[in-house]
Amino acid sequence: MLVAIFVVPVALAKVSQQETAEAKQIQLSDKWLKFVDIFIKNQKTARVYVAIFVITIMGATYWLMPAAEYLPEGEEPKAFSMMIAPPSYNLSEMKKIGIELREYFDSHVNAPEADFINGKTHMPPLAYYSMRVSVGRIWFLSAPVDPENIQIMMDAITQKFKSYEGMRAFSSRGSIISSNDGSTRAIAVDIAGPHIIELYAAAEAVYQAAERTFANPQINSAPGSLSLNQPMIEISPRWDRIAELGLSACDLSYSIAALSDGAYVDEFILEDDKVDIFLFSHAGNQQSIEQLANAPIITPTGKVMPLNALTDLTISQSSNSIRRVDSNRTVTVYIIPPRNVALETAEQLVRTQMLPQLWQQGKIAQGIIVSISGAADQLESTKASLSSNFLISIVLSYLLLVAIFTHWRYPLFILATVPLGMAGGLLGLIAVNGTGSLLNTLGMNGIHQPFDMITMLGFLILLGTVVNNPILIVDETRKYLQQSNAHVIEAVRYAVKKRLMPILMSTATTIFGLAPLVFIPGEGAELYRGVGIIVLTGILFSTLLTLSFLPALLVSIMKQKN
């Protein structure tokens, strides 16, 4: 705006009249005005067209409204997978599985693609992988040679992990926006209550119901294992015996930790890193209960006693962790729907179908509180925030236009084009996705842009751009009526004829400027393509409305003045 006010006039002052006269002027065809005349033949015709525009456009938008996503995934061509073992698997068992998996995946790293194409294997060639084995789980990072095979690779890894008895698997694509656990599309079902047995039973029911509700979903939970069969060793000190030997409870617990999972000693600084020091026994946490019971304990008097002489060791089963949210015991099941199901649709299925069925079937006990959070909850709050911001923007725009026109009614003509222009942007997004689906069906690479929150920001941008062309038409019509005793139809036709060239020029430059943003693929294109589609198609549609709906609206409402 500052350039248009201060720079452009100075530059034009340097242009000589001869250069201006010699410049060729593009003459627009009369077909543009004939097109406008269709909608403003008379007041009755104009009103009919206004009704047709409003009903058709808003009806199509309501009928074709796509379900919303939370945020674009901004995905990297790699996957983060996890194998979650039942409680009975210790580190030794997980290590054996890790060795088998390493042999399996090594055979697919940079392997020839022929076996995958011919269907001999379901695993596409891998560019690389990294695996970490720990107690109860295996963490796996991988990437395919061909980024197009990322989803196929994830499905193959999940099936491989689930091929081991009792194993659960979870995979998500790498994201540059959120953590690599699929949180931008995760529906978090929080299950809270006082009784841990009922909590885990309800969580297991939700887990199984999600697998039935969606086709091949990715499901995770916190805690990772939804079982109370975690083997645990309860150590009960014999306090009288310990007191006789002069052994304190703190010393005994420290010795037991060193003999099993490790005891913290101290820390030291190595260059810029802080390194913790732990004390471990040779057997560590891989020993049996009999070995632990016979582990030697040195008393302050110098005697060496077996642990079972000082304590009673019993094997029990329970959960390996207790998770609390707002002071309540809570188990959370994370459901990531398949990519062909939008987050908003999946959230509605969970809220209105899956959970009510579980309540009716009695699989969720009375007294348990079930709520939905995660990306699904954030989607609803963000939509509400955007809606309120949009209303504030509308009010501010109206007040500004009232101050400019010094009249309360003329701004209403301009703002009447805003919802239709935004509807045009949404219909443009639907058309682009439909074209992309058609191209994919024909074996070509088509684009699909989710209707996410960043895409919705395009509507706020449109609010400041779709009003530009209507302002020119309404202002020119108002001036012409004030300066002459012309008919409203004549005034509208004159305004369109005079302002048509600037309108087409600004529209063309904007569309061609946004076109690379929309149609040229590239890394991270999914982050900004949605905004580009909404703004590009919204401005194009708004221009058509400026030449059709707006003239009809002016003729149908403004008073005739002869």
Q: For Cα atoms 457, 463, 465, give the angle at the middle one, nearest 5 degrees.
A: 110
pTM: 0.76
pLDDT of residue 109: 93
Tens-of-pLDDT digits for all 562 residues of the chain?
777 777 777 777 766 555 555 555 667 777 888 899 999 988 899 999 999 999 999 999 999 999 888 877 656 678 889 998 887 787 888 999 999 999 999 999 999 888 888 888 889 999 999 999 988 889 999 999 988 888 899 989 999 999 998 888 888 876 666 655 556 788 989 999 888 888 888 999 999 999 999 988 888 888 877 777 766 778 888 888 888 888 888 888 888 888 877 888 888 888 778 888 888 777 665 667 778 788 888 888 888 888 888 888 887 766 666 777 777 888 899 998 988 888 889 999 999 999 999 999 999 988 899 998 888 778 888 888 888 888 898 999 899 989 888 888 889 999 999 999 999 999 999 999 998 888 888 877 778 888 988 899 899 888 888 898 999 999 999 888 888 878 889 999 999 999 999 899 999 999 999 888 888 876 667 778 889 999 999 999 999 999 999 999 999 998 754 3
Strand partners, 187: 335, 374
- How far apart (Å, rounded) are the C-alpha atoms in residues 338 and 335? 10
pLDDT of residue 24: 58
pLDDT of residue 23: 52
Contacts of 410 (CB under 8 A, 6+ apart): 401, 474, 475, 478
First-to-last alpha carbon distance for the chain, in angstroms, is 38
Closest by CA to 334, choosing from 376, 381, 382, is: 376
Which DSSP category does 459 fall into?
Answer: H
pLDDT of residue 562: 39
Rg (CA), the chain: 34
φ, ψ (nearest 5 deg) of residue 28: -80, 150
Which run of H or E residues covers position 296? strand 296-298
Structure tokens at 108: 């697919």
CA dist 265 → 44, 253, 261, 504 (Å): 90, 13, 13, 75
